[in-house]
């Protein structure tokens, strides 16, 4: 399998305000991936976006959203489409993804409605 050229990838990360989500964002930014950061705390997202853009020169889009809302995945899918983004990688952190209290199901919402390609990683 050929190595991934992260400079051609756009990763959507839920819950990157701190912890493992923030570290995933840093690791992908270091490799050159464009990022879409999604969480409730817009100020934290903007701080992280500024850090990643300054350190690594990557494009970082911030989408503040309460992913615990019943229609969160639909609203997020519409916003991603409105911005013209093509998401190639999805990372949901435990605090915000399907394992949390949230009914959100991003992997099912975006590809079916907007034709995005999702790749799951075991890492």
**Does residue 1 form part of some domain?**
no
**Residue 8 placed within a domain:** no
Query: What's residue 95's pLDDT?
Result: 56
pLDDT over threshold 80, residue 13: yes
Provide the residue range defining the domain that includes 30: 13-114
> How far is the first Cα of the chain from the last one, in angstroms, to the nearest whole number?
16
- CATH of residue 55: 3.40.50.720
Domain count, the chain: 1
Q: Looking at the whole model, is its pTM more than 0.85?
A: no
pLDDT tens profile 75-116 = 999 999 999 999 999 998 865 444 444 444 444 444 433 344
């Amino acid at each position: 399998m050929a190595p991934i050229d992260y400079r051609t990838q756009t990763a959507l990360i839920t819950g990157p305000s701190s912890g493992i989500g923030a570290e995933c964002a840093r690791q992908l930014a270091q490799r050159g991936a464009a990022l879409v950061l999604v969480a409730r705390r817009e100020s934290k997202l903007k701080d992280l976006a500024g850090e990643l853009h300054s350190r690594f020169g990557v494009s970082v889009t911030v989408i503040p959203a309460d992913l615990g809302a019943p229609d969160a995945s639909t609203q997020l899918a519409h916003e991603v489409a409105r911005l013209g983004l093509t998401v190639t990688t999805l990372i949901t952190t435990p605090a915000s993804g399907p394992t949390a209290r949230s009914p959100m199901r991003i992997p099912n919402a975006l590809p079916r409605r907007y034709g995005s390609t999702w790749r799951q990683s075991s890492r």
